[in-house]
Amino acid sequence: MLFLILLFAIDFLLKWIATSLRNKKLNIFSLSLVFIGILFFYGTYITGFLQTLINENFTVLVRGRTILEFLVIICILLIIILREKTITYQYFNIFLIFFCIIILASSLKNNKSRKVEKFQNNYIHISKKDSSTKPVLLIISDEYTSPDGLYNIYKDSSIYEFSKQLAKSGWITENSFYSYELSTIHSISSLFNFNLSINNNYSKQRIADLGSSKLMHAAIADSFKQKAVKIINFGIFHIGETSYLSHLYRYPTSFWEEILTNTIFFKIQDNTGDLNKSGFANSFFPTEVHNKYIFKHLQDTSNKIKQTNTFIYTHLFMPHSPMQFTPGFPLRFQNNLTNYFAYWNFTNSKLTQLLTGLAKENRYRIILTGDHGFRNDNRINPHYTFTALYGFDQGSIEKIKSVQDLGSLINGYFDIKKN
């Protein structure tokens, strides 16, 4: 109701302003409103469509901000050209009326047919052999594909070098580890709820529903509360009440966010570092800022942990595109297998440094895993990723059959707090 009242208030205010304007000024005002409205509500779809069109036809990736700037210039030129013309919005209004009726009918139909399903989890009981309690680090390497999948294409044994080095250092590695999900939010939310993906319908759930019901009310967070486990979040999703480090994956957490989620507002905010001055540079990618922060601060933060009952969720947005980590890896626009493989190798080199430091004093149990594999080449099965575990016994690991089962392993290694 408040939202509807606000819409009517804005409509009344704009009409009141329009009545005090005449001719040229009225045209400028009304055209500006129309163009601002189109860009604000549909700018995300327009820029996305044009990006795809240019990329497919000219194999060039143009950033959304560049397309948006171009669209703004076109709108300004049209305003200048039409400012003294006689303008009627009759056809535009007729279009909007039909458009609104169709959208409303479609929304009501979809809402009626959409059932809120209760998914049975696949919780696996884990009994750890080691009686000690250590902080557990979960490190997600986004879209990290299986070494086996890459080897089948490149036939290069050096692909396994990262896995072999970890194995020599006491890690247990799985070079082809299954993920039920090919969407990041479905994969991680299922993991935090002890594998809901055994039901095939889970992959069809709306992102908005997952954010509010499966991330902000994650089952593993409830379990951690009972066990007095402290959560440190270096990720991109909520774990219960603990918020993300960076909102790289947009999902609504309130009514107003749901209203604005598909507008250009959050696209601009997210891709400029919350409207930071440096964020308006064309070379700025929030994913790169996020990744660099983790490599710089994760080990220091971990070293300051005093409570052994601590869980750290870390989410690296690599080797997922955009493929950039300056100066070591300059931006590569094309999201093809050649560029991905180069970034995959670069990611391994960065992970080697990070994991060597974290495992040095044997203070933590660590899980490194992808959420799924590379999805842009039909020669690779994206359901297979790579997983490496440190500080967990072989018997516990053998019970875990998928990425989404890792939540059970993590939970099993924390004891219920004794009074």
Q: Quick: pLDDT tens for 209-261.
A: 899 899 999 999 999 999 999 999 999 999 999 999 998 999 998 888 888 98
Q: What is the pLDDT of residue 128?
A: 84
Q: Are 268 and 173 in contact (CB under 8 A)?
A: no
Using only the alpha carbons of the chain, give its radius of gyration.
25
Only one residue has tokens 């939010």, namely: 185
Classify each residue of 37-59 as buried b or exposed e, where b means 16 or more C-beta atoms within 10 Å of its C-beta. eebeeebbebbeebbeeeeeeee
The two structure tokens encoding residue 384 = 């297979």
Q: Are 202 and 119 in contact (CB under 8 A)?
A: yes
Q: What is the pLDDT of residue 259?
A: 87
Q: Are 219 and 192 in contact (CB under 8 A)?
A: yes
Distances in whole angstroms, Cα of residue 32 to Cα of each of 29, 35, 39, 99, 400: 5, 5, 11, 21, 57
The two structure tokens encoding residue 222 = 């409830």
- Please measure the distance between the N-terminal and C-terminal CA atoms of the chain and give it in whole angstroms: 48
* Burial of residue 219 (number of CB atoms within 10 Å: 0-12, 13-18, 19+): middle
CB neighbours of residue 184 within 10 Å: 21
Half-sphere exposure (Cβ direction) of 127: Cα atoms closer than 13 Å:
0
Q: What is the pLDDT of residue 116?
A: 56
Q: What is the pLDDT of residue 359?
A: 95
Q: What is the pLDDT of residue 115?
A: 61
The dihedrals phi and psi of 330, each to the nearest 5 degrees, come to: -60, 155
Distances in whole angstroms, Cα of residue 25 to Cα of each of 21, 30, 408: 6, 9, 64
Runs of H (alpha helix) within 263-371: 264-270, 286-303, 337-359
pLDDT in tens, the chain (419 residues): 988 999 999 999 999 998 888 888 999 999 999 999 999 999 999 999 999 899 888 878 889 999 999 999 999 999 999 998 888 899 999 999 999 999 888 888 776 656 657 899 999 999 888 888 999 999 999 999 999 999 999 999 999 999 999 999 999 999 999 999 999 999 999 999 999 999 989 999 988 889 989 999 999 999 999 999 999 999 999 999 999 999 899 999 888 888 898 899 999 998 998 888 889 888 899 999 999 999 999 999 999 999 999 999 999 999 999 999 999 999 998 899 999 999 999 999 999 999 999 999 999 999 999 999 999 999 999 999 999 999 999 999 999 999 999 999 999 999 876 54
The two structure tokens encoding residue 49 = 């469509």
Give the span between the Cα atoms of 50 and 193, in whole angstroms: 38
Residue 62's region, left for phi above 0, alpha for psi from -120 to 50, else beta, is beta
Q: What is the pLDDT of residue 333?
A: 85
Strand partners, 140: 315, 369
Distances in whole angstroms, Cα of residue 124 to Cα of each of 121, 228, 233: 9, 20, 24
Q: Are 264 and 212 in contact (CB under 8 A)?
A: no
Cα dihedral 239, 243, 244, 246 in deg (nearest 10):
160
Give the span between the Cα atoms of 151 and 155, in whole angstroms: 5
Q: Are 60 and 333 in contact (CB under 8 A)?
A: yes
Runs of H (alpha helix) within 20-156: 23-58, 64-82, 90-113, 147-154
Only one residue has tokens 């909520």, namely: 238
Q: Which long-range contacts (CB under 8 A, 24 or more apart) does 326-335 make?
A: 326/283, 326/288, 331/283, 331/285, 333/60, 333/61, 334/59, 334/61, 335/376
Q: What is the pLDDT of residue 348?
A: 98
Half-sphere exposure (Cβ direction) of 149: Cα atoms closer than 13 Å:
27
Cis peptide before 319 (omega within 30 of 0): yes
Give the span between the Cα atoms of 385 and 175, in whole angstroms: 7
